[in-house]
Amino acid sequence: MSSGGCAPPAGGAQVSAAAGAGSQAVVQGKVTRNGSAVPVGYARLLDSGGDFVAEVPLGEDGGFRFFAAPGSWTLRVLAPGNVRAERVVSADIGKVTELEVAV
Amino acid sequence: MSRSDVLVDADWVEAHGGDPGVVLVEVDEDTSAYDKGHIRNAVKIDWKADLQDPVRRDFVDKAGFEALLSERGIADDDTVILYGGNNNWFAAYAYWYFRLYGHDRVKLLDGGRKKWELESRELVTDVPHREKTSYHAREQDSSLRAFRDEVVASIGNKNLVDVRSPDEFAGRLLAPAHLPQESAQRGGHIPTAKNVPWSKAAEEDGTFKSDDALRALYGDEAGLDFGRDTIAYCRIGERSAHTWFVLHELLGQPNVKNYDGSWTEYGSLVGVPIEVGDGK
């Protein structure tokens, strides 16, 4: 991806597992259905007031990643077939918060 | 101007996407989306590689725009239908370009790639062959584009609309939450700017809200004075192109400019005023 743009690449921008979250508060995970990745869909991050903050298309492995501010967030998944799922998640600086969303 | 002048829906694209005189264009930064599957007959434009000057920070110039459209097989009188990911951010940005260079027959696919995908509509990998054209652009329409000096001079006397997320507006983040936090030298917003995140103008499926809802959003809720000129900005100018489209094309507001330098420029300028903290 280009670092000059705003576009979320599928699955979100890459972060090195070895490097960890550094100064970032990372929320990342995978969307699955019956144990298989959901490769077409969107992950939306909503703030504690329910307002939209960011969205990424799911990666081919159903993955998503956000660089959030510390705090409590709602992750909402949209996928074909009117699929919707939500999870509440907290983000902390220097931490990678992982979650799997089964739809 | 009405919605039907500037928007088409997916059914229209399925029925008319292959008509003579109609060109579908997918616009993204990450063009791997196009390569994995796109709407039948669509050609692609890369937001950065095709639309930005490769050296200095600016657009492709008129000759570059003409060369790009000629190479893609787009003629002066073609109706261009733009769509893309990110709720049409980059498609709206390209739309603004087309209007800057005088191409009036241009529309957005409402909902963009997201709604199309969520409805499980057809995506193909065939790349259409279009004969080269000899495209003629007009000189840039300066009434649609704001530069930094005009922005600084507008503080306190024009509507300034900051369309970034509330955390970016307040200075807690320097970039959207799906990107690593690297950007301008300082966080915050231009004094007197109203924070109306671009996303408030869109439904969850990426389509634009109704005119009544949009008027209420910018007028009653945000307190924009529709009698004043308006400048929209974000971080690099594509989210604010989405808001420019709403204000200028859907609501028909005159004198709306997009400041494409946006926060990556303003937040690195020496000596200009900055406010931090949440919107009022």
Question: If you average pLDDT over residues A16-40, what whole number do you get?
Answer: 81
Q: Where are the domains of chain A?
A: 25-102
In chain A, which residue's Cα lies nearest the Cα of B88? Answer: A7
State residue B180's pLDDT score: 61
Tell me the catalytic residues of B.
234
Q: What is the pLDDT of residue A3?
A: 38
Identify the residue whose tokens are 């900051």.
B162
**B92: its two tokens:** 């709206």
**Chain A contact probe: residue of B27, B88, B179, B196 with most A CBs at under 10 A:** B179
Asked whether the predicted pLDDT for residue A4 surpasses 50, the reply is no
Instruction: Indicate if the pLDDT at residue A97 is higher than 90.
Output: yes
Is the Cβ pair B182, A66 closer than 8 Å?
Answer: no
Q: Which pLDDT score, from 0 to 100, does residue A15 have?
A: 54
User: How far, in Å, CA of B79 to CA of B21, rounded?
Assistant: 6
CA distance B42 to B123: 10
Q: Give percent of chain A above pLDDT 70.
A: 80
Q: Widest CA span of chain A, in angstroms?
A: 38
The two counts, helices (H) then strands (E), for chain B are: 11, 9
Q: Looking at the predicted structure, is the pLDDT value of residue A61 above 50?
A: yes
- What is the DSSP code (8-state) at residue B218? I
Cα(A78)–Cα(B129) distance, integer angstroms:
34
pLDDT surpassing 90 at residue B99: yes
Q: Residue B30 — very low, low, confident or very high, per pLDDT cuts 50/70/90? A: confident
What mean pLDDT comes out for the span A41-66? 91
Is the model more confident about B258 or about B172? B258
A30/chain B closest Cα distance in angstroms: 15
* Tokens of residue B72, six digits: 């893609």
In 3D, which of B231, B237, B229, B232 has the Cα closest to residue B255? Answer: B229
- Give the confidence band of A6 by pLDDT, cuts at 50, 70, 90: low
What ipTM did this prediction achieve?
A: 0.80
Kindly state the tokens that stand for B212.
Answer: 């009544």
Q: For residue B47, what pLDDT band results from cuts at 50, 70 and 90?
A: confident
Tokens of A14: 């890459």
A38-52 tens-digit pLDDT? 999 999 999 888 888
Question: Are the beta carbons of A8 and B119 separated by less than 8 Å?
Answer: no
Choose the closest CB to B204 out of A23, A54, A78.
A78
**From the CB of residue B216, how many other CB atoms can be counted at a distance below 10 Å?**
13
Q: Which of B33, B176, B181 sits opposite A54 (nearest CB)?
A: B176
**Residue A8, pLDDT above cutoff 70:** no
Q: What's the average model confidence in pLDDT over B132-161?
A: 97
Domains of chain B: 3-140 (3.40.250.10), 143-266 (3.40.250.10)
To test the contact with chain B by mutation, choose from A6, A31, A60, A93 the residue with the greatest count of B C-beta atoms within 10 A, namely A6
- For residues B94 and A62, give the distance between their C-alpha atoms in angstroms, rounded to a whole number: 29
A4 shares contact with chain B (CB less than 8 Å): yes
- d(C-alpha A42, C-alpha A31), whole Å: 10
The predicted-structure confidence for B104-129, as pLDDT tens digits, reads as follows 999 999 999 999 999 999 999 999 99
According to CATH, the superfamily of the domain at A25-102 is Immunoglobulins (2.60.40.10)
Quote the mean pLDDT of chain B: 94
pLDDT for B84 beyond 60:
yes
